């Protein structure tokens, strides 16, 4: 294996090992930083996959069996490869086009691993868009939702995928259809768990952009108020985004000319989240 493939292999192994480490309740130690390269060729990638296959025949089966992640191991490895390649440089496709090279299952795993990090998910969705695979990725989320009908998290994930479709749609009809699907997915999540924060927050955010004549912005206000009640009753459940509920609800009040109500909500949020620069800026 040449130095490029070896460097990427090291990065992949570290990334995959970290995922298994979480399952065991510990974090893998960081190894030496992989060598930086300018370009990664398809030949490099094929060599890397050969190394991964060899790894599968040795330690990975044992680890996977003990951590109960064997079923999605291939997708996890593909996601780790993709991350390593992005950190190393550009992939130079051979005759194949970019769309054919994108592994949809691996992309879904990557998106799920980003959690609430918008920058990471934005970068992944940009790759999906460039590959022309948005509908295929959404279809993968649809299958996942159908296979897990009683999992609120999975239904919320599907809603978020459709929100991305709204952002990328080129016609009003496409946007409307995607919005309807997203709303239905969030409703399913909330029917399973009325305190599901992501589902209610994203549903409220999407409603806040509807025309006032539809009544949806007022529904958004009610959803945000429900979230505040739930958040303040369970502050320990803060996922790092609780402050955004105060920001959004205050924004809606401000847009309606209810300045005092807006400032009261922002101040209420800042009292609970004193480190929030967004709320501090609103009050300034």
Per-residue pLDDT, 223: 97
Q: Is the pLDDT of residue 274 over 80?
A: yes
CA distance 104 to 284: 45
Per-residue pLDDT, 96: 40
Q: For the segment 12-70, what is each residue's pLDDT rounded down to a tens digit? A: 443 333 333 322 232 333 333 333 334 445 555 555 666 565 555 554 444 444 434 44
- The domain segmentation of the chain, as residue ranges, is 1-95, 103-193, 213-284
- As separate numbers, helices (DSSP H) first and strands (DSSP E) second, the chain gives 15, 2
Mean pLDDT, range 187-213, rounded to an integer: 94
Burial of 166 per CB tally in 10 Å (0-12, 13-18, 19+): middle
Task: Select the more confidently predicted residue: 137 or 69.
Answer: 137
When the candidates are 1.25.40, 1.10.3210, 3.40.50, 3.30.40, the CATH number that belongs to 103-193 is 1.25.40
φ and ψ at residue 35, rounded to 5 degrees: -60, 135
Q: Which of 169-173, 221-225, 240-244, 262-266 has the lowest mean pLDDT?
A: 169-173
75-98 per-residue burial string, b: 16 or more CB within 10 A, e: under 16: bbbbbbbbbbbeebeebeeeeeee
CA neighbours closer than 13 Å in the CB half-sphere of residue 85: 22
Gyration radius (Cα) of the chain, Å: 22
Both tokens of 37, joined, read 């390269």
Per-residue pLDDT, 148: 95
Q: Specify which residues 92 forms β-bridges with.
A: 41
Do 213-284 and 103-193 fall under one CATH topology? yes
Mean pLDDT, range 205-217, rounded to an integer: 91
Task: Select the more confidently predicted residue: 34 or 102.
Answer: 102
The secondary element (H helix, E strand) that includes residue 214 is none
CATH architecture observed for domain 213-284: Alpha Horseshoe (1.25)
**Residue 205 CB contacts under 8 Å (≥ 6 apart), including other chains:** 220, 248
Q: For the segment 161-192, what is each residue's pLDDT rounded down to a tens digit? A: 999 998 888 888 998 899 999 999 999 999 99
- DSSP-derived 3-state class of residue 236: helix
């Amino acid at each position: 294996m040449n130095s490029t493939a070896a460097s990427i292999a090291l990065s992949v192994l570290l990334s995959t090992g970290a995922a298994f480490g979480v399952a065991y309740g510990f974090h893998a130690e960081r190894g030496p930083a992989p060598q930086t390269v300018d370009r990664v060729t398809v030949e490099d990638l094929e060599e890397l996959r050969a190394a991964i296959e060899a790894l599968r025949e040795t330690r990975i089966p044992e680890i996977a069996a003990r951590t109960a992640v064997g079923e999605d191991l291939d997708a996890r490895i593909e996601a780790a490869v993709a991350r390593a390649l992005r950190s190393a440089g550009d992939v130079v496709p051979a005759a194949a086009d970019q769309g054919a090279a994108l592994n949809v299952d691996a992309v879904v795993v990557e998106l799920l691993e980003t959690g609430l990090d918008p920058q990471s998910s934005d970068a992944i969705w940009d790759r999906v868009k460039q590959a022309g695979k948005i509908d295929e990725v959404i279809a993968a989320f649809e299958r996942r939702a159908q296979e897990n009908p009683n999992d609120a998290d999975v239904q919320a994930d599907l809603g978020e995928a459709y929100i991305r479709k709204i952002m990328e749609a080129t016609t009003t009809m496409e946007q409307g259809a995607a919005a309807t699907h997203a709303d239905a997915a969030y409703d399913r999540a909330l029917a399973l768990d009325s305190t599901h924060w992501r589902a209610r927050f994203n549903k409220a955010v999407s409603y806040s952009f509807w025309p006032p004549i539809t009544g949806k912005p007022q529904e958004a206000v009610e959803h945000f108020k429900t979230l505040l009640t739930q958040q303040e009753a369970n502050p320990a459940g803060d996922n790092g985004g609780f402050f955004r509920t105060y920001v959004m609800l205050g924004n809606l009040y401000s847009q309606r000319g209810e300045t005092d109500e807006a400032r009261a909500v922002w101040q209420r949020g800042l009292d609970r989240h004193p480190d929030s620069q967004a709320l501090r800026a609103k009050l300034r």
